[in-house]
Structure 1
């Protein structure tokens, strides 16, 4: 027991000395993820997309069509960048990416409305940009819906109905929508909550792969094993824990920014999120051992481990709902610790669900950690040989 303890501290302090002597290590472990955090914070700082540029073609040029145009411009999501004369002119603006949509008001717009007839206002959107296109469509529907109701009320009042009767007749069914999570439609809340942990897990995996793999690449395995008192537990944890402390500091900054500065609504303790993220870090550090033991050279290790951690975001359900994934993809989704982390985070922090509701994902964490711990035995053999097998 004393041998293991002494071996651990020797490896632990030796690794800290290496970190101090080689600023490049600190740059990759702390500087690069911090820079990416700052980049994401700058990109998604506003949170809500506003004043998306659109074009409008008013073929009617009447007081009623100008009122609709004014209401479109008053919408916080839409901004009329161009007023075009021809339809092809507006479509060209969409194709060149200068605007996200084109609204066309027909020539008989005022006449049809005054007679109580249906008038079709056309919206073209560039759906290559799904998020802006969806917001433009949503803003347009809101404006046209309110305008249609108001126009219908005016027509009914001219026919002798009271204001109340006209409103009830124009809108007999009123929809009440209650958004449970992210009611502000804030993309910073949605994207930063996934992108920041994604960068963290990617950093943890790549740095740990490099640390363990470089020991074998540069034939330093026997030296590390001897320094640890020939104890693989002391060798592994002594080597890795200094970086765990660095990653825990990154986690503290991340959690403080997301739930403090950015103000993402949270339905659990911030401390719980911090602990959950630390668990993810430890699990990925253990999974790195597994990849070291199944690869035969440093290049294969970096390629395989890097691809594994990079693909995690795509399979986590942030970019495409898990419910819509094919069964085979759902099965593949379960091989990434990040999926367990993201769903536990969503359930506890966003939805306020009890932690036991995420028990399957916590069990998943345990399985990944077990795989890493079991892999330590083979890693011990590798250290005793000193390097990768020739």
Structure 2
């Protein structure tokens, strides 16, 4: 490419393009990481309907009625019976080990009590530690058991029955995403999240590479000495590339995956452009502030990587604590997500997206302005003209044996600022910073709208019951459904409850009155919470109506309940019984944080370690043992201290936790050494490994059930130690499983540890051989 002869914007941009397309790490980061994430996530979510969740059946009646009940459950598309002959103790073991997500208990004399209209109780247990799978399993159990009990009930006699109070039944209708498609919801949100991490790292890499690897003075001179032109010209090629990637994303979602786009395209192009500029500016600003490529990349990762939680997509901002709400408000991703989901999923009018768009534009101007001010300050101080020392490799005596490699690795970690920050400080910061959006655990007082078309005493009682619920708050009262829908679109309510005309009359006649619940399924966690809260409140009021004028345990009430529901279906969550979001997501995320920080740290230090010489076998083993001892405090923090501080379940035995965690850390260290041997520069590990953490989380079978993940994606996920470690450590610590119940995870980690140890030794030998040839 022929360079422009005159200094200015074009010369800077041309200089940057030449560097970008000749730097393999930049190409991998900009093109390879997004492509990897797109392929992995679309493969993971290629089966949007979750089917075949494991169920263990405990049938203590063994009658025709109980067998018919079991067959109904077996016919449910979302469930799969994995054991029919167990006891309650074996059912718990099946759930703890992961063989099943739920269990059904059918009591003795079920058929006899059913025929006598005594409403025998059938209990469905489900493991709510795995929140997504638990929601699907509980819904499937409820539908299958209720339908089976109604069919298995004896035929009602034709004799007339006395008039009685009717019941009320809530019917949930999804306004947006009516199929409640998790894949549609998650893919739309996850892909921009990964891209924004890549944008931040790419900008940091581009600016930070000028410190020693390139020539900061030449950069400024190509801009004619103007810091504004220098920064704008450097980031312009990246802006063009990422804009094309952002435009390709909705085309891919709609054209290939049939995820519809309903909004205003020019507005989304403008919002995407602002998001790119904001995170390009932020990545550049962090590098200009610290003046060190590795440290700046670490800070960029700290800000960008957990942003999905702070963006209010998984757990809504309305439920966050004060710190999380304030921090999320200064993250451009949060406001971009509000515009994206409002436009792409809901198809809102442009005016309804004005506030988040204005916030996104304001933050973009703020970060761009701060980056430019920092550039101007560095120019005034003569920073660009100051010669910086060249990169130096470690020079020292070759370590001898495993002990020498162990001590040498400790010295490297304590002597390098970037390594010390990553391996000691980062776990502490992440342990405090990452869980903040989720610590309120459950959603309370979610605003809803009510449309009362009955205007009766009963309808007023319904409204009062909804408002008194701990989960809901009647924030809007409208006269029409159209007004309620407008309130939902503008964020004033998350659901609308319509009380139809003649509701009270129907109930007094003994007829079942249907109460429509119109809920927004854009955010599926909010959808489930509001729909469940309304259904619970209506069910409670119905029970009060049925028992009015009679004892709640009297024969009249029992007869009425038996006529409406022949069996008492009790769904009982076990493990994380309140459904706390932090209890669900944070323990698994902690394991992934441990892997990513250690993986990056081990990869960063490996090339430097290989330059000092020493035996390959002893060196890999010694460094692995060093990493294990370095991470023991972080392990104790994440598995013992913080779960107790945050109130998570801690049922595991410490020796068993350490037995599995130690193999996990060794496997991660050996994997980092095997990969890091091929990185010519230590910061390349941060650049290429950091942005892959989110796809790994969804291949692990925790946030998204393994039953819905294709085998190829499961196989890919199992290449990373966190896949086995998340499953094993969460089951031991949060579910109280023994290490023998998760023996498949422990064995998998041992296999990975041995395989990566061999690969690390081979890689070390290959690199040393190459260094010897280069010197000769």
Match of 1:382 in 2: 378
Secondary structure of residue in 2 paired with 1:215 = coil
Which deviates more, 247-256 or 376-385?
376-385
Q: CA deviation at 1:121?
A: 0.8
Q: CA deviation at 1:96?
A: 0.8
Within 2, Cα distance between the matches of 1:208 and 1:68?
60
- C-alpha contact 1:289 1:379 (8 A) present in aligned 2: no
Match of 1:239 in 2: 234
- C-alpha contact 2:69 2:152 (8 A) present in aligned 1: no
| 1:206 and 2:207 correspond | no
Within 2, Cα distance between the matches of 1:47 and 1:388?
56
- C-alpha contact 1:217 1:388 (8 A) present in aligned 2: no
- C-alpha contact 1:55 1:103 (8 A) present in aligned 2: yes
Secondary structure of residue in 1 paired with 2:170 = coil
| 1:225 and 2:225 correspond | no
Q: 1:259-274 counterparts in 2 under 5 A?
A: 259-270=254-265, 272-274=267-269
1:298-324 deviations in Å (ceiling 9; x for gaps): 333222222111121111112212111
Secondary structure of residue in 2 paired with 1:79 = strand
Count the aligned residue pairs: 382
Within 1, Cα distance between the matches of 2:165 and 2:133?
30
Match of 1:327 in 2: 322
- C-alpha contact 1:316 1:338 (8 A) present in aligned 2: yes
Match of 1:318 in 2: 313
| 1:58 and 2:59 correspond | yes
Secondary structure of residue in 1 paired with 2:168 = coil
Secondary structure of residue in 2 paired with 1:176 = strand
Among residues 189, 192, 195, which one is paired with 2:190 in the alignment? 195
Counterparts in 2 of 1:259 and 1:274: CA distance versus 1, 3 Å? farther
Within 1, Cα distance between the matches of 2:167 and 2:366?
61
Extract unaligned runs of 5+ from structure 1: none
- C-alpha contact 1:297 1:388 (8 A) present in aligned 2: no
Q: 1:72-83 counterparts in 2 under 5 A?
A: 72-83=73-84
1:36-72 deviations in Å (ceiling 9; x for gaps): 1111111111112111111112222222112211111
| 1:256 and 2:251 correspond | yes
1:207-261 deviations in Å (ceiling 9; x for gaps): 1011112213446221111111222232122211212222122213321222322
1:162-218 deviations in Å (ceiling 9; x for gaps): xxx99x999843432211122212111121111111100000001101111221344
TM-score (norm 2): 0.46
Within 2, Cα distance between the matches of 1:103 and 1:170?
32
Q: 1:8-23 counterparts in 2 under 5 A?
A: 8-23=9-24
Q: 1:273-284 counterparts in 2 under 5 A?
A: 273-284=268-279
Q: Report the aligned-residue RMSD.
A: 2.7
Secondary structure of residue in 2 paired with 1:216 = coil
Within 2, Cα distance between the matches of 1:303 and 1:283?
18
Q: 1:111-190 counterparts in 2 under 5 A?
A: 111-151=112-152, 154-156=154-156, 158-160=157-159, 172-190=167-185
Within 2, Cα distance between the matches of 1:371 and 1:169?
66
Secondary structure of residue in 2 paired with 1:201 = helix
Q: CA deviation at 1:160?
A: 3.9
- C-alpha contact 2:264 2:347 (8 A) present in aligned 1: no
Extract unaligned runs of 5+ from structure 2: 390-776
More helix by share: 1
Within 2, Cα distance between the matches of 1:113 and 1:388?
87
Secondary structure of residue in 1 paired with 2:201 = helix
Match of 1:354 in 2: 349
Within 2, Cα distance between the matches of 1:102 and 1:364?
48
- C-alpha contact 1:114 1:155 (8 A) present in aligned 2: no
Q: CA deviation at 1:280?
A: 0.9
Match of 2:99 in 1: 98
Which deviates more, 118-127 or 245-254?
245-254
